[in-house]
Amino acid sequence: MPLHRRLPAKGFTSVFNREKKATAVVNVGRLDGLEGTVDLAVLKEKGIVKGKGITRLKILGDGELNVALTVRANQFSKSATAKVKAAGGKAEVV
């Protein structure tokens, strides 16, 4: 077997991995007990989002929302946007 196949591949970082940002995914049902404006900072403070280096937030539509909230996130699913608006709140893309 040639030497270049026997040595481990070290030191290569793909361009795609460098540009990838850590995204937290939260379902609408987890936002039900909150009040006012909800964004990534509030979710980190409440302990819903954990982890280092998380800079983006995506809201998915699983669960029910009974409180009118203003939700600020980088991405929303269609069902999440519909559920937030049906509860009387706003879905703002940051």
Could you list the pLDDT tens digit for every one of the 94 residues in the chain? 888 788 777 776 666 766 667 899 999 999 988 999 999 999 999 999 998 889 999 999 999 999 999 999 999 999 999 999 999 999 999 9
Task: Identify each DSSP E strand in 1-94 by its residue range.
Answer: 22-27, 37-38, 54-60, 70-73, 75-76, 90-93
The answer to whether residue 2 is domain-embedded is no
Q: Which residues are bridge partners to 72 per DSSP?
A: 92
7 located within any domain: no
Q: Which domain, by its residues, includes 54? A: 23-93
**Closest C-alpha among 68, 72, 75, 74 to residue 92:** 72
Domains contained in the chain, number? 1
Q: CATH code at 39?
A: 3.100.10.10
Q: Report the predicted TM-score, pTM, of the whole model to 2 decimal places.
A: 0.77
